[in-house]
Structure 1
């Protein structure tokens, strides 16, 4: 009885933390990850993100923003998809989340939330991650949408090892009289296209300020956003457009000023002496 009361008391000390979940799903009955509608009548299609929202929002008691690391197309399954969301928790071993009004420890959270999810979409585990943790899509992709005209690279395929938004320690900005925290967009990769990092930062800024939807980066990196894949909005008036036109149409970007960019260091693969083995990190 004493242990139960102690656990309840700890769970009442509420803080908001970021949670990372590893999900698995059978893609045969899903129309991909991102929310989408049926062309004929505009009815919402069954997607992974929509299903997560419909299940987790009532269970957690509020509309949490859910981020998904990788975009999979209709019919594609996943064993280790990563999602993130914020919830009211207490850090430490007794970290708890309110599910249906009951306190659930984070290690037990996957099981509690799975009771609200369908059998073909389940969470394998949930853990607490740093508040700056994001699921910005890393890996090898065609970054043509994030290149300014004038670049001379033959290939627009690059590998990004890391892309995170970090608070700049000890530095405050702003002339409004109130302290405002500065942030850095840190990008590590094997090479960058012309103005690529500045366009990535500009795109993340648009998303963070609410001027662009959260799935903008996923749309720009989608495998089918080539000659006829990426949907054009803004002045384009719908339809599709090549990746290279997405920035001109205001879907990604803008290019942030060069004064904010800094080449922090260059790393070389110890097993190879060639420059092609370098990993570069930019702010």
Structure 2
């Protein structure tokens, strides 16, 4: 039995998230599994490094599956490119050791959140960035982000739907980069709770808009009270950038 690792990019705009659902096949997992099953003439189930929500994109999602197929990895990637929808592209395939597990073996992840900060939205970026018309105070956002870096209890920054037993996570870095009207927030951590990145971004945006002082972020962390943090930022600005092993 071979173990095959996939690196995947996708536009999540029209999908109900990554995870396979019983009532629809409009998920990333379902689309890939359907094509793999036809390719191998086997019932294929893929394991993703994590579940992205409805509308969230990926530049470097990782998944793996087991197969008895004799196809080469080059043949597989060509088949997937031909038969997957154009908004899902497998960018790399490699055969890995049998024990490799895309979720359990992941040591860290990077997410990138994209904001278009101008009076008027850019119609060509409307599905891939969050539009903020008010000028953001980037320096204040950077100052606030420093309180989030490190190992903390992130209870204040998780959705109530989170089922994780522990809320302790480590954020290695938060980079806020300006590229003209485009602002990118890159969050690197050893793991993330449900909606954690989007709540971190929502909180930083509150600081950037002047609705919250940077120092408030430290109090929010210590309070373990979700109601004190910012709103959940829209899904369309979020991308899974990279999974590290």
TM-score, structure 2 as length reference: 0.45
Whose RCO is larger (CA < 8 A, sep 6+)?
Answer: 2
Larger Rg: 1
